[in-house]
Amino acid sequence: MTDVTTEKISKIIRSYLINSNDYYVDVSLSGISDNIYIIVVSRFFDDMKEKQKHDYIWNIIENSNLSREERLRISMVTVMNPDDIISEFNSKAWKKENY
């Protein structure tokens, strides 16, 4: 499910990653109230620390033409590179014996 704000946010973030060869951007409604979740995966973030990744995306959001109300709808931002995903899902926390 999308709305005008999620489409707007997606276009804004994608415009900053246009020079990156591979990226995935998902901006969607959380299902809770009117909140928005943002997930960004790109090799662009390979050499960045966690804080740098989030600061980069939040800087885009804060300096965009989004209204204050639109920005306040964002309740989660996840920023990763593909290696982060691999290490996360190969971790012990995801092993079957832990469930």
What is the residue extent of each domain of the chain? 4-98
Separation of alpha carbons 54 and 25, rounded Å: 14
The Cα–Cα gap between 85 and 89 comes to 6
pLDDT, tens only, 44-87 = 999 999 999 999 999 999 999 999 999 999 999 999 998 888 88
CB 23 within 8 A of CB 57: no
Do residues 42 and 67 lie in contact, with contact meaning Cβ atoms separated by under 8 Å?
no
Other C-beta atoms closer than 10 Å to the C-beta of 66 total 18
- Taking the C-alpha atoms of residue 86 and residue 99, their distance in angstroms, rounded to an integer, is 20
The CATH homologous superfamily of the domain defined by 4-98: BolA-like (3.30.300.90)
Question: What's the pTM?
Answer: 0.82
